[in-house]
Amino acid sequence: MTAMAHESLTRAEVLLEGFLALDTPEGFRAELIEGDIVVTPPPDGDHEHCISVAVSQMYRRSRTDMQFSANKGLKLKSVEACPQNHAIPDGTFVPMELRLFKGAEPWMPGDGVTMVLEVTSTKPQRDREAKRRCYARGGIPLYLLIDRDESSVTLFSEAEGDDYRQHCTLPFGKAVALPEPFGFELETSEFH
């Protein structure tokens, strides 16, 4: 190992240790995404409304019973020389039969997660790019992005390497087909 690689590894370890020691104010969330520590303030009501609408449909219409978490920390693969990504999606879905949340540590691996949900807020580019890459690297099969600035919903699928091979973007008001294990069309008109 070269001195430069050892130095980078040491910085990554220090960054991860500092991140894990953060004490964020109540309601804020801290994530470590592609080597950047990101602290996000509590979301506004419209943000939470979008999550509520999507989750309500998941529970009522999904062909598979799903568990949902609004604040589950996920440890996901990162780029070289950066510590492991620590992301907190706005929503994490796993099949109920897997019971992945029961007994899970605050930061769990993404294995078994079927879909993550993000709703854009103060820094939408992070959700559109860095978090998309983070979820793809972590092997999360589906990433649903509700983009309030663009008034659109994008479903990313077929994670491969640093990105998703497929994506479908539709404007609010058009239904988004969610594949199995969900197997229904997500109505988006209430996201306005």
Give pLDDT, residue 6. 46
Give pLDDT, residue 148. 97
Give pLDDT, residue 126. 95
pLDDT digits (tens, 9 = 90+) for 89-132: 999 999 999 999 999 999 999 999 999 999 999 889 999 999 99
pLDDT digits (tens, 9 = 90+) for 51-79: 999 999 999 999 999 999 998 999 999 88
Give pLDDT, residue 1. 42
Give pLDDT, residue 42. 94
Mean pLDDT, residues 166-191: 98
Topology (CATH level 3) of domain 3-191: tt1808, chain A (3.90.1570)
Share of the chain above pLDDT 90, in %: 86
Higher pLDDT, 12 or 38: 38
Cis, bond preceding 181 (omega within 30 deg of 0) = yes
Here the tokens at position 143 are: 């990433």
Distance, in Å, from the CA atom of 86 to the CA atom of 18, rounded to the nearest integer, reads 13
Give pLDDT, residue 2. 43
Give pLDDT, residue 79. 83
| Half-sphere exposure for 106 (CA within 13 Å, toward CB) | 5
Closest alpha carbon to 90 in 121, 56, 125:
121
In DSSP terms, which residues pair with 113 in a beta bridge? none
Give the helix ranges, DSSP H, for 21-93: 45-61
Q: What is the mean pLDDT of the chain?
A: 93
What is the SS3 assignment for 36? strand
